Chains A and B, each alone.
Chain A
């Protein structure tokens, strides 16, 4: 029972942390271009001159 008193607030805080992180991402425009984000990983960062 005493364990619960500690664990439940911890679980809730972690969950709330995740929720807050999601809201931050939403506000800062990270959901504006989902297709672009999916494709950006394919872009080579090196300059093309070398190739």
Chain B
């Protein structure tokens, strides 16, 4: 059947890529692939688990919306992937080919070198040296490029980084070895140079893998945001228009439970809007005809028509984006700890090598002898272990954090996070869950059959309040009752018939705050109030942070009363009604006072603050802007992720410093040997491997850092 379809449609197949952030195991993969494969018109579906994407080849009868619906039925949230991501830029891929070449060449050259070390003489040695040169020189030029490029761009700006001593060491060793080969000398250092490149590339590949993984996780979360709107045409027809194609003057029809894709004035209808993501305000705002509704806000009650007044670059969002850009530029001036070390290290070893040459010349050695010893000093001090000290520690720690549900987007995040001494929390969506949840006391008071009716009704609506209710009731162990004649009326609620009685779940007539009413014909009406609750463990997390020496306070855009309530509960100081600019200023003020600030926030209004802060953390439920601006993203509900990240960062930095100490200790032991001229290629190879192994072994202790 599928084969027939396949043949019939082969000519007209198209590919759609969907982001499915909920996939995490083999079971999910096979469910998604089979679920989609069973659809009429689907030729093939292939999951990419790393990127949390599924690419579907299908006939023209299907569109992305139909595929999303099919996935929704088997229990996966999906979104068509945004185009602007394009094919993902992988940091690992460009490094894999150099690593493979360096590995291949290092092994072959080592094989030849071992024969030379074990006493090959005369023409055999010469043959082996020539072979080594033939393999090594092209391999070094190809696989060393990542280092040469980075070193060159640093030198062009009269700066030095870790790659400068590495590149100089590699190039000098290669040049000298070539000279030895041509003149029939005894020592060629090709194996050392190649091994150095291979070790360092392994460190960089691991580092890049970590960043790729975190980026993929965040990309998958990002794809969930609203991407467009149903636009009402002149003849009343509806068409889906992508967010960036929206233009002022278009009329969007926004269903209850949808987010607005652009700013606009309400043309028709009234509803309440949840602006929490944009301003941090938790109480929904009622808006009527002629009033301004902002992009990113959630329509809660009824469908409304909205005339687009600003789209794309002109929205409130654009202003926030500009603030963020300015803030992140300031942060990019941060100097990595490895480069800081290199600034001290590189001049020291280069001076030492030069002094060695001069010293041997003064002692009466020939120019050739003096140069060979100088090169040995350069090779032995080439910071192999130093180059691995930082990336390996960061990779192991971020792998541990990833398993604990914390994605580290940037390697330097550890360095910045470890030094933080002050925490600022946004309230809505950060300290609180940011979504209205039914009051647990009211749910507990529901009779069992009322609860099962409520669950059945709620599960037939995609309204955020219904979904929250359905989730809470299902978690409490209730089963959905069997209903017939189910109707959902937007703006009113869900109506159905249960055992001959009319039952409804609807908006209460006179509600203060958020609530739903459950009515059952011939029975009482139950009112279920909703509120935004503190994240689990918020108290505990703040206590732990205090234990780590980080004082917390609240920085929120919400109204004073709402913030005061949370501040009282957590016993924190707070600043309320702060806009994006005020938040940024508050952080700048603390930083000017010598503090290093960790910002934890989620909303669009937190974006500039997240970018300005020394380090930043966002929950996985955060807005696009929040996710992009934050250094770390945590996916569970518990706020304990924040102290856990701080602890892991401090442990990582402790291990990094130990690694530096180990690497320098090795150099202190090896340099006198090199200066005195005792170092041969064999000694260099052994020294380099042992110091690298020491550093890697020490870093592996971080595997339990997320505990």
Q: Using a CB–CB distance below 8 Å, which chain A residues touch chain B?
A: 1, 4, 8, 11-12, 15-16, 18-19, 22-23, 26, 31-36, 39-44, 48
Contact = CB atoms under 8 A, between A and B. Distances in A.
B107 interface: yes
B26 A39 contact: yes
Interface stretch (B95-103, B255-263, B419-427, B452-460): B95-103
Chain A interface, >50% SS class: helix
B50 A35 contact: yes
22 contacts: A11-B111, A15-B108, A16-B104, A18-B104, A22-B100, A23-B100, A26-B97, A31-B92, A32-B50, A33-B47, A33-B49, A34-B50, A36-B47, A39-B25, A39-B26, A40-B26, A41-B26, A42-B25, A43-B29, A43-B30, A44-B30, A48-B34
B49 A43 contact: no
Contacts of A16: 104
B124 A1 contact: yes
Given A12-B135, A41-B26, 14 more contacts: A1-B124, A15-B104, A19-B100, A23-B100, A31-B96, A32-B48, A33-B47, A35-B50, A36-B29, A36-B49, A39-B29, A40-B26, A44-B30, A48-B34
Contacts of B96: 26, 31
B625 interface: no
A35 B34 CA distance: 19
A2 to B, nearest CB: 12
A22 B108 CA distance: 16
B131 interface: yes
Across the A-B interface, the 4 shortest Cβ-Cβ residue pairs: A36-B49, A42-B26, A39-B26, A33-B48
B19 to A, nearest CB: 14
A21 to B, nearest CB: 10
Chain B interface size band reads: 20 to 34
A9 B104 CA distance: 15
Contacts of A8: 131
A35 to B, nearest CB: 4
A19 B99 CA distance: 11
Contacts of A34: 50
B93 interface: yes
B51 interface: yes
Interface string B40-63: 000000011111000000000000
Nearest to A9: B131
Given A33-B51, A36-B48, A12 B26 contact: no
Chain B interface, >50% SS class: helix
Contacts, number: 55
A33 B111 CA distance: 34
Contacts of A15: 104, 107-108
Contacts of B101: 19
B444 to A, nearest CB: 38
Nearest to B25: A39
Interface string B10-53: 00000000000000011101100010000000000001111100
A20 to B, nearest CB: 10
Interface string B374-400: 000000000000000000000000000
A32 B92 CA distance: 10
A1 B51 CA distance: 53
Contacts of B108: 11-12, 15
A37 to B, nearest CB: 8
Contacts of A40: 26, 29
Contacts of A36: 29, 47-50
B50 A33 contact: yes
A34 B208 CA distance: 14
Contacts of A35: 49-50
Looking at A19, A35, A42, the one whose CB has the most chain B CB atoms below 10 A away is: A35
Contact of A43 (B26, B97, B100, B131): B26
Contacts of B124: 1, 4
Interface in B62-108: 92-93, 96-97, 100-101, 104, 107-108
Contacts of B29: 36, 39-40, 43
Nearest to B123: A1
B24 to A, nearest CB: 9
A18 B104 CA distance: 9
Contacts of A33: 47-51
Nearest to A16: B104
Contacts of A43: 26, 29-30
Contacts of A41: 26
A11 to B, nearest CB: 7
A31 B93 contact: yes
A11 B29 CA distance: 41
Contacts of A1: 124
B32 to A, nearest CB: 11
Nearest to A19: B104
Nearest to B30: A43
A16 B139 CA distance: 12
Looking at B27, B49, B111, the one whose CB has the most chain A CB atoms below 10 A away is: B49
Nearest to B216: A35
A32 B48 CA distance: 8
B50 to A, nearest CB: 5
Nearest to B135: A12
Contacts of B30: 43-44
